[in-house]
A and B are shown apart, each in its own frame.
Chain A
Amino acid sequence: MSSASSPVTAPASGRGYAPPGRLGRILSRNGPGYLFLLPWLIGFFGLTLGPALSSLYLSFTDYDLIQAPNWVGLANYVRIATADPKFNAAMHVTFLYVALSVPLKLMFALAVAMAFNRGIAGLPLYRAIFYLPSLLGSSVAIAVLWRQLFAADGLVNGMLAWFGFQGPSWISNPHYSLYTLVVLSVWQFGSPMIIFLAGLRQIPGDLYEAAEIDGASNWRKFWRITLPLLTPVIFFNFVVQTIDAFKAFTPAFIISEGTGGPINSTLFYTLYLYQEAFGFFRMGYASALAWILVIIISLFTAFAFLSSRYWVHYDE
């Protein structure tokens, strides 16, 4: 890694250089930590905090992007809570999407990573091919492709026809359209797969050797060694994928061309937020929506972190 060897200007002060006195003790205890944290702190205070706070402020205003914001107190939040059917629709779509896509994608990614973690000829090629869909990301071509696959006379129905089924137009039927986006998300399982793979490579091989000497079965090795040692990575993937799924925007934006249709069936939360902000010029309302999403995600993340004590294994 090029960065690992690149010269750095500020070496952290080691333990031996601590100045004497109380201040010195505080410095020597906290100094290295804050020194390492310095770039992030600068970034946080300089670039992140300001915009975040101003969006918090905007959430209490009526702001049309052009004229100065106008303080309205809690009005935006009250409307969201009491009089916004689209908010309810968006919550429904988003929660369903999170609940379906995250577990499926993670299981798929872990299974493929495990399969790839053993010797098969041509492995690098397979791995690269399996990563390709994730490379496509949110390319405009995906929209056209998805139509090609999931329309009434698309490829999927073509295949179903071999088995005598006449499938509906998956992508444009409000009952199924969300599921095509779940499939898209699962199909792009590349990034959690890579992270699982890196995690698997970090499990010390001698643990397996020792278990083999004890005559442990593969199944037992998976449950006793792989899974526990992989929990920090599983935890990471779980938290990050869930946050991402809550914030999912591009798939729906591209496939429904920003409408969230048919009949709001793909109206993801952030898509609704985007419509409000840039489509209908209600940045204040969109900011309130954003902060409600932050609260929902934080609750979820806090819960995940609290529960992690009971199932995530760290070496400490």
Chain B
Amino acid sequence: MTDFKLSRRTVLGTSALFAAASALGGMPALAATRLRLLWWGSQERADRTNKTVEAYKKAAPDVSIDGEFLGWNDYWTRLATQVAGRNAPDLIQMDYRYVFEYARRGSLLALDDYLGKSLKIDDFGKDNIDSCRVDGKLYGVNLGVNSSAAFFDIGAWFDAGVPAPSHGMSWQQYFDNCVAFAKANKRKNFYASVDASGIEPSFELWLRQLGKSLYNDQGKLGYTAEDAAAWFQYWTDLRKAGGCVTADIQALDKLSIETSPLTTGYAATGFAHSNQFVGFQKLSKAKLGIAPYPVKPDGKPGHYMKPSMMMSISAATASPDAAVAFVNFMVESTDAAQELGVERGVPASAGMRDVVTPMLDEPGQMVVDYIGKLSDLAGPLPPAPPKGAGEIAFSLQRISQEVAFESSSPAEGGKQLVTEANSILERA
């Protein structure tokens, strides 16, 4: 029972508290600074992260780091509770969407003062640093570079005798290929493509190729009802032509790896983030390939590089220096790079990318190649999403389903999306 007493009250490393706590339940060797590190992810990520923490112990023996990890859904509930209770962990793994929510509410530490001093990330390149900025200030450090991508079942496309998605394929070609795939296909309940109409990153890519965006730099909508209607129309036509999954199959997709129609065997192509490729391959019987999104022939680049996740520091941390030092170790030391690999995405640091690349297995290698060859299709970062963006992503998914189940037309869906999004933005 002694295990359960106050032994692990690891609050902010305050020495008095620490002494009291260690008196109550045998604490391991003394450490001057204790940091709490919280992340979401799989056991594989945990193993790699724990080894990194071990390695850091050699570099900084007076700092001890308590890691905690959880699944995605549980993670945000616990983080919100701890932050609301003024008991936030010192080191917080952050997601690109949530960083805006937390940073704008003042719960994250701005790292600009450490840049170039204890945080030496100049070799990230400007874009990979700016992608972690909120309203001009740096609130996180990029843990892996990421972009949207199409994943496909190589064998299924080959068997159908139709070209699989590839670099530079147009939306119209993709459409025709999917329809041709349907004609050649013999498997029941199997389609060339998922229905991406409700997947926000896909919609965003399409808009960027039109020279528009989800949000403009005033935090207003960057597209019109007609743009959204055209998007819904494309997928409605493809659905009717048998080129993508039916509405009720697509509704099973919860935008997670294990619910994607590509994983569950309903579709030969799916859209996701490039760092998820390894996970998709692990759950899929088929050999998967990775390609950029279809393009508009004379359109603008739709892709952009964003952090798959970042490491942020709580504004309430008692030891900001120690926390920054650890983050720097994570992204800029050979020891850490060797442990972490590309599990969180391709390292943003050019030096670390060189360390990591030779150690990769085939899917990992494919992801690095993919990111490396994307430059001609990738444009600048989009403007920051305003408050309420998360809710609008829900609306897009719901309205895309209404269109797919034919309770509204693509044109009505487009109008409704814009109306709803505007009212959400007004409220936020």
Contacts and interface: CB of A to CB of B under 8 A. Distances in A.
The reply to whether A and B meet directly (CB within 8 Å) is yes
Interface of A: 64-67, 144, 147, 151-153, 168-169, 171-174, 256-259, 261-264, 275, 278-281, 283
B234 interface: no
Given A151-B252, A152-B248, A279-B391, 12 more contacts: A64-B105, A65-B83, A65-B105, A66-B105, A66-B106, A147-B264, A172-B248, A262-B398, A263-B401, A281-B80, A281-B101, A283-B84
Contacts of B188: 153
A283 B80 CA distance: 11
A31 B394 CA distance: 56
Contacts of B407: 263
B218 to A, nearest CB: 21
Contact of A168 (B248, B259, B390): B248
Contacts of B259: 147, 257
A261 B101 contact: no
Contact of B73 (A144, A151, A258): A258
B105 A263 contact: no
B260 to A, nearest CB: 12
Interface string B226-254: 00000000000000000000101111101
Main secondary structure of the interface of A (DSSP, over half): loop
A144 B246 CA distance: 20
Interface string B388-418: 1011001001100110010100000000000
Contacts of B250: 172
Contacts of A258: 73
Contact of B254 (A64, A168, A256): A256
10 nearest CB pairs, A to B: A172-B251, A169-B248, A66-B105, A257-B254, A262-B251, A65-B84, A172-B248, A172-B252, A262-B401, A263-B401
Contacts of B258: 144
Contact of A152 (B106, B189, B256): B189
Nearest to B77: A278
B215 interface: no
Given A66-B107, A278-B77, A261 B401 contact: yes
A261 B397 contact: yes
Contacts of B264: 147
B249 A152 contact: yes
Given A67-B105, A263-B401, A280-B391, A171 B252 contact: yes
Contacts of B189: 152-153
5 contacts: A64-B105, A65-B83, A173-B251, A259-B397, A261-B398
B80 A278 contact: yes
Interface in B105-120: 105-107
B96 interface: no
Contacts of A67: 105-106
Contacts of A172: 248-252
Nearest to A174: B405
Contact of A173 (B80, B248, B394): B248
A259 B250 CA distance: 14
A258 B83 CA distance: 22
A263 B252 contact: no
A153 B266 CA distance: 10
Nearest to B252: A172
B223 interface: no
B88 to A, nearest CB: 10
Contacts of A257: 73, 254, 256, 259
Contacts of A280: 388, 390-391
A210 to B, nearest CB: 53
Interface in B71-85: 73, 76-77, 80, 83-84
